[in-house]
Amino acid sequence: MSGAGAPKLQVDGTGLKVVVVAAQWHTEVMNGLLAGARRALEQAHVTPTVVRVPGSFELPVVAAEAARGGADAVVALGVVIRGGTPHFDYVCQAVTWGLTEVTVRTGVPVGFGVLTTDDERQALDRAGLPGSGEDKGAEAAVAAVVTALALRGLRGAVVEAQDGVPRA
């Protein structure tokens, strides 16, 4: 199982502004991913803004706008299932590169909840649905919140170090 060895993270994201950007293709899988992300964010004391986009290819542009608009973290949810053409490879590469660029250019973490699977069964097994082996929506949400909190702490330490004034 690909989730073996994943850390169990408990986090309090009170006060964080989190935007979940979720694709609409593959409705059953996406409903599971979105429900998992919402559950994890609720447990972290975060009420997200949810934005739906047509497909995974559209995730980076909306994630970038959320980051520029003041989000502390973004959770990107989508699914790309391999077909009989190279389209799968192009979409997966574009989405991964695009979301990475959002994170690096804005300094806002993006939880990567985009499933790239060979078939629908693999996607369903990662969607956090009853009977699924994994909940990648929840994992992406927790990763985004934990990273946002780490960055907040790091940025506070850097500010303190630059001016010598202790921060609470």
The span from the CA of 91 to the CA of 84, in Å, is: 14
Neighbouring-strand partners of residue 106:
none
Q: Are 108 and 155 in contact (CB under 8 A)?
A: no
87, 105, 152, 155: which is the annotated catalytic residue?
87
26 is catalytic: no
The span from the CA of 14 to the CA of 10, in Å, is: 13
Torsion angle, CA of 31/21/126/108, rounded to 10 degrees? -150
Count the Cβ atoms, other than its own, within 10 Å of residue 5: 6
Q: Which residues are catalytic?
A: 87
